[in-house]
Structure 1
Amino acid sequence: MSWIHPISAEVEETAETLGGKGHGLVVLRRLGLPVPPGFVIGTAACRAFLRDGRLPEGLDAELADALSGLEAATGRKLGGTERPLAVSVRSGSSVSMPGMMSTVLNLGLTGAATSALAVETADPRFALDSRLRFLSSYATEVLGLEQETLAAIAQRAGTAVVVRDVEDAIRARTGEPVGEDAARHLERAIAAVFSSWDAPRAITYRALHDIPADLGTAVTVQAMVFGNRGDHSGTGVAFSRDPNTGEPVPFGEVLFGHQGEDVVSGRSLTSLLRELAEREPAVWASLLDALERIEAHYRDACYVEFTFEAGQLWLLQVRPGRLVGRAAVRVAVDLADAGTIERSEALLRITPQQLRQVRTPRIAPDDAADLLARGLGASPGVAVGRVATSADSAARMAAQGPVVLVRPETSPLDMHGLAAAVGIVTSRGGPTSHAAVVARSLGKPAVVGAAGLTVDAAAGALRVAGRTLPEGTLIALDGTSGEVVVGRPRVVDAGPDPRLHRLLAWADEVVGEGGDFERGKPESGEFGRDDFERGETGPDDFERDEAARLTAAQAVLRRSTTG
């Protein structure tokens, strides 16, 4: 049995074997797009590891061969003292689980290799920063150091000092230095990624999304490309269409002089994606070309993670966009109108949950609400609940009623709090940060980058503009406008969506009954305002009727497909 597969256009294995990330990289290679060289350790190896408690027999020999091939392809050597190779070690289930499992970056930058990289690039600062990033991810994901310990060390002055103190913390925790054996580091990182399949945050995420527990994760090992290398390097995430509205314009964030985890974590202040066009026009042109080709391949909106090093674009991940509510409906209808997909496929792409999210509520524009902060709307909808300043508080308080989780930024360790909350607010991060991505996947309203908002989890309080709000204070957030207000504001319906009306008309044509199941309601599928005032119906009736029309059409289409 072959445990390892190259990232190559010729590879035929599916996402069930390669994981979603690995399979996406193979697709990018087939499209002729730039992907760093590497290989994938398949999901079967993870299942064997979880069953036996050790890496499967024969993997060590395959790993040595795969690493030799990667060194030959790059002209570099892992842990080498000349032209050192650094690699990323990433998880990737067949079903996307964003941020729920372990990642180790810059692996291979031993002390000697870091010195060699500094000489090669004539940039000791860059080399030392990359070494620190390796130590930090290796310490937390492989050795089990607490993130709070590393966060405290990171506050100290000077990268060299921080690197030394992290090395000391590792020695204090393990009784030995991190060492110079890069191949051993790689084996331990692979085992840590496999183990993270059963981390509490991953288990919680799978339960929320009905993901089978026996799939396992693949591990993708790739040559690092460095977004933190100089003024013409950076990293970002991009959607081919706006994930909140479905508008056909590129959407995302970019961060110059940083690596990818800085964008996803929400710790750093990002720029809007379009700034890439001004600062790196060649990279921007390459990215637009890639998004167009990827969307044409998937026949759907798409999402990519990218890095550019010294003006060269590299793609690190791709998947269909996973849009919500109105955005999902707009994209499906627009693609059908363009002839990219059939109307039947547009109907099958929309879930009842997405349909329910179309009538996204908003805080009434004329409401005299007590505005607490304003950030970026990251996931549409309105949520009202009591403030919780930690994931543990959110999980505990949710038993007594709705809570809104308010954090500086979120991480996979907050998954139990994200699951318990009805809405999410962060003081840092952008619309593609961890908090935003997870909120959209859960269908929960979110506001990120709420300016001026300080979260004091130790004191259990929020502070903004001289005000202090303790945990338990009732607040509301609007995931479209980015408003966060104190109290319970007046909420209004977002209004009719003409694309939804057209989608439902297509559904009625498929079912053959027309209208609203002959109940005397308007053809659009909406009830009239008089029905509300008489108390004869409400928003739930809207959702039930529309969902029923969609699911009836989907049942007909599936029967016709299966014969």
Structure 2
Amino acid sequence: MSNKWVYMFEEGDMTMRNLLGGKGANLAEMTKIGLPVPQGFTVTTEACTQYYEDGRKINDEIMTQVMEGVAKMEEINGKKFGDLKNPLLVSVRSGARASMPGMMDTILNLGLNDQVVETMIAGNDDPAFERFVYDSYRRFIQMFSDVVMEVGKKYFEQLIDKMKEEKGVQFDVDLTAADLKELANQFKAEYKNQLGTDFPSDPVEQLKLAIEAVFRSWDNPRANVYRRDNDIPYSWGTAVNVMPMVFGNLNNQSGTGVAFTRDPATGENKLMGEFLINAQGEDVVAGVRTPMPISQMEQEFPEAYADFIKVCDTLENHYHDMQDMEFTVENGKLYMLQCRNGKRTAPAALKIACDLVDEGHKTPAEAVAMI
């Protein structure tokens, strides 16, 4: 019997944290309780251990199962990976059992290449759509180069800054489709200049390299120092989550955000968070633009906001703890990308523990154990 290296989200749950990592287990659990999660798969922590045993290579058996996962994802989502007409683009994220800084985090928009980009644009007359496609492409080249191939971010940041200066604009969002197309070409040239080879255009190769990069980051210096300091065993490995992209940067009916079901500083039982219109996840944390408070999302996207409030209630009732969540709105529809028990200050921990007892989520003994 060969090993099972890949689990669709619908095959897992939160008890499988050791195998699926924290992120994968929570995505599976959210799927199980019926939340709107883009349906993808997790490559297990055991596959990571195997990668090291095989001399830092992903063996054919693992890759075959990954491609079977892609095929199921294509079926569920009605798009095809690497297809020109209706391409399935994916995000690749690491997810160890314990969350660890310094590990490879995220690659978005994987599956794009020149032909896919051109065909996508040709099939849509909206000039805003052309800008969105080139924006996604330039982000992908930048993240892939930085995260997977370890070409420093700064080379790309410099090119963006130069372009904004030349065009006399302040923000990335002010760059036009033509500007972003030019940036994508400059980025590919920079990639070749740094690595001596062309940017990989085959989506399957892109995916394999991205999964390898996540596994490799388990063993990078920052991760190793963190593991030593926090007694995290090397043998745990990390899982990889592959899921269909939902686009917060599609148009002004789209956006992305992070939120807590309670205030992590004071523990007050009210929704706290930030939201950016027409943006992808990394924009919120990068601080390039100032996000709006989550309460403002209600005016901008009333339906998605109402759905989000329901999701927050569902998650707290399910996990019986304050949740830290990432989500995206694409064309007014809400998608959940992650949830986990939220980190909080000491005063907040005390207040939340007491409130959870009052609300019937925890027994007094469980509440004491939380603090």
> Fold conserved (TM > 0.5)?
yes
Asked whether the 8 Å contact 2:100–2:223 carries over to 1, the reply is yes
Residues of 2 paired with 1:326 and 1:60: CA distance?
47
State the match for 1:418 in structure 2. none
User: Per-residue displacement from partner, 1:420-462 (whole Å, max 9, x unpaired)?
Assistant: xxxxxxxxxxxxxxxxxxxxxxxxxxxxxxxxxxxxxxxxxxx
Q: Name the aligned partner's letter for residue 25 of structure 2.
A: H
Quote the Cα distance in structure 2 between the aligned partners of 1:168 and 1:187: 22
2:220 is matched with which residue?
A: 199
Per-residue CA deviations over 1:183-215 (Å, capped at 9, x if unaligned) read 011001100011011122222333343322221
More helix by share: 2
Q: Contact (CA 8 Å) 2:324, 2:341: kept in 1 or not?
A: yes
Q: Deviations over 1:391-432 (max 9, x none)?
A: xxxxxxxxxxxxxxxxxxxxxxxxxxxxxxxxxxxxxxxxxx
Question: Is 2:344 the partner of 1:323?
Answer: yes
Q: 1:144, 1:183 → 2: CA distance?
A: 19
Structure 1 residue 9 displacement after superposition: 5.7
| Number of residue-to-residue matches in the alignment | 350
8 Å CA contact 2:103–2:214 kept in 1: the answer is no
Cα-to-partner distance string for 1:517-561 (whole Å, 9 max, x where unaligned): xxxxxxxxxxxxxxxxxxxxxxxxxxxxxxxxxxxxxxxxxxxxx
Question: Percent sequence identity over matched residues?
Answer: 36
Instruction: Select the residue among 132, 135, 142 that pairs with 1:129.
Output: 135
Distance 1:108-1:93 versus aligned 2 partners, 3 A rule: same
State the 1:99 CA deviation. 6.1
Residues 493-512 of structure 1 aligned to structure 2 (within 5 Å): none
- Aligned amino acid, residue 127 of structure 1: V
Match of 1:403 in 2: none
- Aligned CA distance change for structure 1 residues 252 and 207 (closer, same or farther; 3 Å): farther
Residue in 1 aligned with 2:169?
Answer: none
Structure 2: unaligned runs, 5 residues or longer:
164-178
Q: Which residue of 1 aligns with 2:35?
A: 33
| Pair 1:184–1:9, CA change in 2 (3 A) | closer
Other-structure match for 2:44? 42
| Contact kept? 1:101, 1:202, Cα under 8 Å | no
- Tell me if structure 2 keeps the 8 A contact 1:303–1:321: yes
- How far is 1:10 from its partner? 5.8
Alpha-carbon separation, structure 1, partners of 2:106 and 2:260 = 22
Distance 2:288 2:230 in 1: 26
Write the mapping of 1:345-384 to structure 2, written as runs, cut at 5 A. Answer: 345-350=366-371
| Cα distance, 1:48 vs structure 2 | 1.3
Structure 1 position 109 matched with structure 2 position 117:
no
* Partner SS state of residue 96, structure 1: coil
Match for residue 305 of structure 2 among 273, 284, 296? 284
Q: Which has the higher strand share?
A: 1
- The answer to which structure, 1 or 2, has the higher relative contact order (CA under 8 A, 6+ apart) is 2
Whether contact under 8 Å (2:14, 2:26) holds in the other structure is no
TM-score (norm 2): 0.91
Aligned to 1:160: 181
Q: Is the 8 A contact 2:45 2:96 kept in 1?
A: yes
Q: Which runs of 5+ in 1 are unaligned?
A: 351-563
State the match for 1:8 in structure 2.
10
- CA shift, 1:75, in A, is 1.6
Structure 1: distance between partners of 2:11 and 2:60: 27
Q: Distance in 2 between matches of 1:297 and 1:190?
A: 31
Distance 1:144 1:26, change over 3 A: same
Q: Which residue of 1 aligns with 2:26?
A: 24
Letter in 2 for 1:131: Y
- Cα separation, 2, equivalents of 1:102 and 1:128: 22
Alignment match of 1:94 (pick from 81, 87, 97): 97
Could you report, residue by residue, the CA deviation over 1:339-371 in whole angstroms, capped at 9, with x for unpaired residues?
221110111111xxxxxxxxxxxxxxxxxxxxx
CA RMSD of aligned residues (A): 1.5
Matches of 2:91 and 2:335 in 1, distance apart? 14
Deviation at 1:264, TM superposition (A): 2.2
Verify the 8 A CA contact 1:9 1:26 in the aligned structure 2: yes
2-structure distance, mates of 1:245, 1:100: 29
Counterparts of 1:340 and 1:205, CA distance in 2:
33
CA spacing shift, 1:304–1:223, aligned 2, 3 Å? same
Tell me the amino acid that sits aligned with residue 44 of structure 1. E
Contact 1:118-1:126 at 8 Å conserved across structures: no
> Is the 8 Å Cα contact of residues 45 and 56 (structure 1) preserved in structure 2?
no
Paired residues of 2:101 and 2:226 also in contact (CA < 8 A): no
Amino acid aligned to 2:307: S
Q: Which structure is larger by alpha-carbon Rg, 1 or 2?
A: 1
Q: What per-residue deviation string (whole Å, max 9, x for no partner) do you get for residues 310-341 of structure 1?
A: 00100000101121210011000111122221
Work out whether 1:219 is the aligned partner of 2:240.
yes
- CA offsets 1:276-306 (integer angstroms, 9 cap, x no match): 0111111111111001100111111011100
Give the deviation of 1:12 after TM superposition.
7.7
Task: Tell me what 1:250 maps to.
Answer: 271
Give the 3-state SS of the residue equivalent to 2:10 in structure 1: coil
Contact 1:156 / 1:162 at 8 angstroms: preserved in 2?
no
| Mapping 1:440-455, distance limit 5 Å | none
**Secondary structure of 1:58's match?**
helix
CA distance in 2, matches of 1:97, 1:84: 32
User: Does the 8 Å CA contact 2:9/2:28 hold for their aligned counterparts?
Assistant: yes
What TM-score do you get using the length of structure 1 for normalisation? 0.60
In the alignment, the residues of structure 1 paired with residue 23 and residue 149 of structure 2 have an alpha-carbon distance, to the nearest angstrom, of 25
Judge conservation of contact 1:83–1:120 (CA < 8 Å) in 2: no
Q: Which amino acid aligns with 1:84?
A: P
**Is residue 172 of structure 2 the alignment partner of residue 180 of structure 1?**
no
> Is the 8 Å Cα contact of residues 13 and 29 (structure 2) preserved in structure 1?
no
- Report the 3-state secondary structure (helix = DSSP H, G, I; strand = E; otherwise coil) of the residue aligned with 1:335: helix
> Which of 68, 77, 81 is 1:78 aligned to?
81
